[in-house]
């Protein structure tokens, strides 16, 4: 597909409407964060430790990373539509099972199955790349992820309300219903965007060295990994900080967790508006600079002894803003290194990104105590944000050498 003019809403013989792509990506993002305000209560309910309960995040991310290695090649061969509908179906069943889990083992089992919905995050971006060229892809991905950000912006708040008034099970009931609604929408609207059927899985495996040998692929992949890694680290530690350090209620914990999404939506809007004009590399670099500046200022205030939830979570808005600019542009670059391998590149890039995030989320939770406060997490977010900037600068240097 080469142009969005062919799209007709609720006509599955055409490429999907942007609303479908937004909700498709949104349900995956929502699932990642909506239950976080309930972590402390769930720890008590299942009579376990916070470290074990935190596997519901880090383990989920690890399974997501593994899945993304296979999602791209399979979808290149059998089609985006079929893979998407199966994945959402698994997610619906898993969410329903998690709602009625009575032991931590059963809950974590269903939670890992919920990771199937991460397929939607991968394929929503890949479908965009199927439809439009590189710079237009960065713009359209920006709008898709801006809309996606509006969903999880309120997700932790909704989860906090559910926890405070109805209990954590209500959160998973909400996910079950949301998944069912998105499945119906995709069934009606999601037309196939793979034109030639893609490559077989064996052929895709043989093509991995082609991607691995590309410095630009690694530069974009590491940029997205480190940029999102700062956010995953925040997810791993924010519930503890909100509850144990700042003594916030589940609702206000959810509000704090939603702060980065406000910035992310703004950053995605800027990407959608200016990526075509400025180019993906320049826009991605601007995003990393914004993140480093925000995280650096947050850390300096904490080291100066200034601690307040409004300051901590307020500066996390800059993390969201920077990532909102960086991610769609770096992702568009990653998918365009080898256009025929867009699905494979998306899966491998996503695996690198989310696999790193799993480790960083677990590390963040392990570093924090009431005595240390927020400082270890702020150091961690700043360091990985700087690494994202360095990775992007290496890509830009390599691009200059190619064009010279």
Token pair for residue 31? 């699932």
What is 13-403's CATH number, 1.20.1250.20, 2.130.10.10, 1.10.10.10, 3.40.1210.10?
1.20.1250.20
Q: How far is CA 187 from CA 69, 81, 89, 102, 354, in A?
A: 25, 8, 11, 33, 27
**What value does the mean pLDDT of the chain take?**
84
Could you tell me if 76 and 198 are in contact, meaning their C-beta atoms sit under 8 angstroms apart?
Answer: yes
Q: What is the pLDDT of residues 196-247, one digit of tens each?
A: 655 566 766 777 787 787 888 889 999 999 998 898 888 888 888 888 889 8
**How confident is the model at residue 291, as a pLDDT?**
96
pLDDT of 85 reads 93
Tokens 């998973």 appear where?
172
Percent of the chain with pLDDT over 70: 88
Q: Is the pLDDT of residue 122 over 90?
A: no
Nearest-CA neighbor of 231 among 151, 169, 149? 149
Q: Which helix (H) or strand (E) holds 368?
A: none
In the numeric block, which tokens belong to residue 3?
Answer: 């142009």
DSSP symbol at 8: -
The tokens for 216 are 């630009």
Any idea where the domains of the chain sit in the sequence? 13-403
Provide the pLDDT confidence category of residue 138 given band limits of 50, 70 and 90: low
pLDDT recorded at residue 149: 60
User: Which of 81-85, 117-121, 290-294 has the lowest average pLDDT?
Assistant: 117-121
Round to whole Å and give the CA distance between 209 and 80. Answer: 24
Q: What is the pLDDT of residue 372?
A: 85
What is the crossing angle of helices 80-99 and 118-131, to 10°? 160
pLDDT digits (tens, 9 = 90+) for 250-261: 888 888 888 888
Q: How far apart are the first and last CA of the chain?
A: 31
Please calculate the CA angle 332-337-341 and round it to the nearest 5 degrees: 95
Asked if the model's pLDDT at residue 150 lies above 90, the reply is no
Dist. CA 48–CA 63, nearest whole Å: 21
Q: How far apart are CA 250 and CA 37, in angstroms?
A: 5
Q: How many CB atoms lie under 10 A from the CB of residue 136? A: 18
How high is the pLDDT of residue 198? Answer: 57
pLDDT at 2: 43
List the structure tokens of 90.
Answer: 């698994």
**pLDDT given for residue 4 in this prediction:** 46
Reply yes or no on whether the pLDDT at 55 is more than 50.
Answer: yes
Q: What is the pLDDT of residue 321?
A: 93
Q: What percent of the chain has pLDDT over 90?
A: 31
Contact by Cβ (8 Å): 267, 323 = yes
pLDDT at residue 5, rounded to an integer: 44
CA-based nearest residue to 63, from 19, 94, 103: 94
Residue 132 pLDDT > 70 = no
Rounded to whole angstroms, what are the CA distances from 204 to 69, 113, 201, 287? 11, 25, 5, 32
pLDDT of 120: 82
398 vs 186: which has the higher pLDDT:
186
Cβ 367 vs Cβ 377: under 8 Å: yes
Please enumerate in sequence order all residues whose Cβ is within 8 A of that of 96, keeping only pairs 6 or more positions apart, or say none.
172, 176
| pTM confidence score | 0.76
Q: Is the pLDDT of residue 157 over 90?
A: no
pLDDT tens digit sequence for 329-350 = 998 888 777 766 766 777 677 7
Largest CA-CA distance found in the chain, in angstroms, rounded: 62
Contacts for 143 with CB less than 8 Å, ≥ 6 apart: 18, 268, 269, 272
What is the rounded CA–CA span in Å between residue 262 and residue 315?
11
């Amino acid at each position: 597909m080469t142009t969005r003019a062919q799209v007709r809403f609720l006509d599955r013989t055409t490429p999907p409407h942007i609303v479908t792509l937004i909700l498709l990506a949104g349900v995956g993002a929502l699932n990642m964060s909506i239950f976080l305000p309930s972590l402390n209560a769930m720890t008590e309910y299942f009579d376990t430790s916070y470290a074990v309960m935190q596997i519901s995040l880090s383990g989920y991310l690890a399974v997501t990373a593994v899945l993304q290695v296979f999602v791209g090649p399979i979808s290149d061969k059998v089609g985006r539509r079929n893979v998407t509908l199966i994945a959402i179906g698994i997610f619906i069943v898993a969410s329903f099972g998690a709602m009625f889990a009575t032991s931590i083992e059963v809950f974590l089992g269903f939670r890992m199955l919920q990771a199937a919905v991460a397929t939607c995050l991968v394929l929503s971006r890949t479908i965009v790349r199927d439809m439009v060229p590189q710079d237009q892809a960065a713009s359209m991905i920006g709008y898709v992820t801006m809309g996606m950000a509006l969903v999880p912006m309120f997700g932790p708040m909704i989860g906090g309300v559910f926890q405070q008034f109805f209990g954590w099970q209500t959160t998973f009931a909400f996910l079950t219903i949301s998944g069912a609604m998105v499945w119906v929408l995709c069934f009606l609207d999601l037309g196939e965007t793979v034109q030639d059927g893609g490559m077989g899985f064996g052929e895709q495996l043989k093509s991995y060295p082609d991607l691995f040998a590309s410095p630009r692929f690694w530069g974009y992949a590491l940029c997205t990994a480190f940029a999102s890694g700062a956010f995953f680290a925040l997810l791993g530690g924010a519930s503890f900080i909100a509850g144990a350090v700042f003594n916030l209620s589940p609702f206000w914990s959810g509000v704090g967790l939603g702060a980065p999404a406000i910035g992310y939506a703004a950053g995605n809007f800027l990407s959608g508006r200016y990526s075509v004009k400025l180019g993906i590399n320049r826009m991605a670099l601007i995003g990393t600079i914004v993140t480093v500046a925000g995280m650096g200022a947050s850390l300096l205030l904490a080291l100066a002894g200034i601690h307040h939830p409004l300051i901590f979570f307020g500066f996390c808005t800059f993390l969201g803003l920077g990532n909102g600019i960086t991610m769609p542009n770096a992702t568009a670059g990653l998918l365009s290194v080898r256009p025929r391998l867009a699905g494979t590149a998306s899966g491998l890039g996503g695996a690198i990104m989310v696999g790193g995030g799993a480790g960083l989320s677990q590390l963040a939770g392990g570093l924090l105590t009431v005595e240390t406060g927020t400082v270890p997490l702020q150091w961690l977010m700043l360091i990985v944000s700087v690494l994202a900037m360095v990775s992007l600068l290496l890509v830009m240097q390599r691009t200059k050498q190619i064009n010279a």
